[in-house]
Amino acid sequence: MPDLIQRGLRVLFCGINPSLYSAVVGVHFARPGNRFWPTLHAAGITPRLLKPSEQEELLALGYGITNVVDRATATADLLDAAELREGAKSLEAKVKRYRPRFLAVLGVSAYRTAFARPKAKPGLQPETLGATRLWVLPNPSGLNAHYQLTDLSRLFAELRRAADAG
């Protein structure tokens, strides 16, 4: 799954790993029922609801997409801790190369495992990757029943406001 990335991004969104559906169609967060795109719009990150096939429009807005682990799976819980930790090392190198203002990891449990931060909570993290600030958000997958769209939108909007402030 190719990254949607360039230098100077305000935020690089980081999924856990691509779904099998996304890998087949070659577009991030493409699976029907994934709430990533509606959440971006509701949070004021995109001016309109983008279709997954319009993902390239994010770059002009200062946003990109990558994943902790490149391997596609039916569900993220099929990844083991070692794979997540290895993915975090690769992600760190990518972040240092592209230098986004924020890296937003979309998955609290995956972040805790990948970055060895077992007590991390959603929001701004005390750690950085070089000059890039880390922000943790809930996974927008439709399988994540803990967060409704209104909750996701509020949390994503907090990140947007922080990115707007510089």
Is residue 81 very low, low, confident or very high in pLDDT (cuts 50, 70, 90)?
very high
Mean pLDDT of 48-63: 98
Cα–Cα dist 11/9, whole Å: 5
Q: What is the token pair recorded at 57?
A: 């429009």
pLDDT at 145: 65
pLDDT of residue 6: 98
pLDDT score, position 143: 67
135 pLDDT higher than 80: yes
Instruction: Give the number of C-alpha atoms closer than 13 A to the C-alpha of residue 29, restricted to the C-beta side.
Output: 28
